[in-house]
Amino acid sequence: MGGKLSIVATPIGNLGDITLRALKTLEQADLVAAEDTRHTVKLLNHFEIKKKLVSFHEYSNEARYGELVGALREGKHIALVSDAGTPVISDPGYGLVKRCVEEGIEVESLPGACAAVTAVTLCGMDCSRFSFYGFLNTKSGVRKKELGEIRDAGKPCVIYESPNRIVKTLKDICEVCGKDVRVCACRELTKVYEEVVRGTAKEVLDVFADREAVKGEFVLVVGAARHVREASEEEIVRALQESLARGMTKKDAAAYVAALLGVPKNRTYQILLDL
C-alpha cells in the first residue's frame, strides 16, 4: 500500500480558521513536514496534537527530499504544512508535490486559509478573472517590468508584500500603473487588527506613507489599469494616425499604440485595417 502526501492549509492569523479535516489529517498522519517546526509545534500544541515533526523548507537538500519520498514509498502518510496559509502558494512544497506526481505517489490537498484568496474576496473589484504574482522581484528594474505586465494584463492582480516595502511598492504602482488605478491593501487579514484600505493607488499610498511605522503582513490587489478599459476608438485612431504620419509601418504602429494605450494589439491592428 503506497503512502500519501496531504497538503494541509493552516490559519493565516485566526486559529478558528483551521478546518476539521486539517485537524483530523494532522492527527492521523505519521509525520508532519513543516516549514518551521518551532512555529508548527505551537499550532499542534494549541490543538493538543502530538506528532513527529520534520523540517521542510525552500532550502531543504536532496537528502531531505529523499527521506520524505522514501517514507511515502514505504506507505507513510505525510502532512505538509507551511508557517501560515496554503503550502506551495509563495511557500515551500512545489518540489515535493512534483516528485510525488512523478513517482505516482498519492497527493491530496486540503483547502483552507490563503491570504491571496481572502484578499480577492474582500477587494470589491471584479475578480471573475485575476492573476497572482506573489512577491514582486526585489530588483527595481525587474519589479517595474512585472508591474508593467500587471498594468497591461487587463485584470486585477494579487501581490504579497512585506511591511518594510509596502510604501515603495505603492509608489512603484503609482509610477507604472498610474495614480488612478484601483488598489486594495489588506493588512493583517483575519487578525485582531485587520485593516482593508481601498482607493486609488495614490490614496492608498497616502494612507501608509503618512504612518510613522507600517507593521503587519500585506496583500495588495491592483485593479485593471484604467486605460485598458477606457481607451476609446477615437483615441486609438488618433494615436495610430500620428504614428503613421511619423513614418512607422502599419505593424509597428499597431504594436506601439497597443503598448502606449494598454490595449490588445489585435484591437489596434483591426482598427488600423479599417482606417
Q: Where does this chain bind ligand SAM (CB under 6 A)?
A: 12-13, 82, 84-86, 89-91, 114-116, 160-162, 186, 188-191, 217-219
d(CA 221, CA 123): 7
Helix (H, G, I), strand (E, B) or coil at 129: coil
> Closest separation between CB of residue 203 and ligand SAM, Å?
19
Considering beta carbons, is residue 189 or 253 the nearer one to ligand SAM?
A: 189
User: Quick one: 190 or 268, whose CB is closer to ligand SAM?
Assistant: 190
Shortest distance (Å) from residue 128 CB to ligand SAM: 21
CB of 93 to ligand SAM, least distance (A): 9
What sign results for the dihedral spanned by CA atoms 205, 183, 93, 194? positive
Nearer to ligand SAM, 88 or 255 (CB): 88
Q: In the complex, what is the shortest distance from the CB of residue 141 to ligand SAM, in angstroms, rounded to a whole number?
A: 22
Give the count of alpha carbons within 13 A of 212, CB side only.
0
Residue nearest to ligand SAM (CB): 85
Helices and strands (H and E) in the chain: how many? 12, 10
**Measured between alpha carbons, how far is residue 164 from residues 180, 216, 222 in Å?**
23, 9, 19
User: How many residues in the chain?
Assistant: 275
Closer Cβ to ligand SAM, 162 or 249, answer by number: 162
